[in-house]
Amino acid sequence: MDARNRFSTSLRNLGAAVAYPFETWRGTVGVTITASLTYVLLILSTMPEFSMQMLGDGLHWIDFVVVSLTETVYRSDGLVGLAIIAAYATFTGVAVVNTAARLRTVGRSSLTDLSGVLPAFLASGCASCGAGLLGTLGFVGGVAVLPYDGMLVRVGGLALLAFFLGRAGRPDRCLAGEVVE
């Protein structure tokens, strides 16, 4: 299979993987809840000290913190930065629902097949600041010199998540590299 056919197949698999959760109300609710929680977590991680201080005073500050940090991301990274966080949260919701469906359909024997989605969660780190994985590994100084304020790391994380979703495809069908119609 040449590169063009593999790319075309991956795009069809990505479309099938993204569409799958929205075929049922349970999947749609699962994506919505997971994406919302992921969005809140990513937004809170943009300024962890501020988030911990405010939420340490009580959970009644959660709405203020989320709105303030969303505004901060918008003002610092613009609409593109906010769209990347929203897309990452949505793709994460799709990946979680698809992983649960794969486990439900195939059972524990599919745990080895989950390698198609799980690396994207680890490799992309924190999509909101672009520095999650690098900072965890001790490359905080390296993050400070990244071009475009780490935007390339965020886009790279989103691309990895899309790649692994495209590789995994629909969770209820065995794709083996091909889209089953």
pLDDT given for residue 115 in this prediction: 55
Mapping DSSP to helix (H, G, I), strand (E, B) and coil, where does residue 36 land?
Answer: helix
pLDDT given for residue 25 in this prediction: 93
pLDDT given for residue 179 in this prediction: 44
Domain count for the chain: 1
Do the Cβ atoms of 47 and 69 come closer than 8 Å? yes
Q: List own/partner pairs for 58-63 with CB under 8 A and 24 or more apart.
A: none
76 in a structural domain: yes
- CA 23/CA 158 separation, integer angstroms: 23
pLDDT given for residue 178 in this prediction: 45
Tokens of 176: 């083996």
- Residue 137: what are its φ and ψ, rounded to 5°? -80, 0
pLDDT given for residue 141 in this prediction: 56
Query: Comparing C-alpha atoms, which of 166, 139, 123 is closest to residue 16?
Result: 166
134 in a structural domain: yes
79 in a structural domain: yes
Instruction: Output the pTM of the full model.
Output: 0.75
71 in a structural domain: yes
pLDDT given for residue 177 in this prediction: 45
22 in a structural domain: yes
Neighbours of 111 (CB within 10 A): 13
Q: Name the one residue in this structure whose structure tokens are 């600041």.
A: 129
Q: Name the one residue in this structure whose structure tokens are 């099938």.
A: 16
Q: What is the mean pLDDT of each run of 10 residues along the chain (181 residues)?
A: 79 89 93 93 86 91 94 90 89 87 72 53 48 51 59 76 82 56 43
- Residue 82: what are its φ and ψ, rounded to 5°? -70, -40
Mapping DSSP to helix (H, G, I), strand (E, B) and coil, where does residue 172 land?
Answer: coil
State the Rg of the chain over Cα: 18
Structural domain that includes position 115: 3-168
Signed CA dihedral, 70, 84, 59, 132: sign only: negative
144 in a structural domain: yes
- CA 70/CA 39 separation, integer angstroms: 10
65 in a structural domain: yes
Listed in order, strand segments (DSSP E) in the chain are none
pLDDT given for residue 110 in this prediction: 54
177 in a structural domain: no
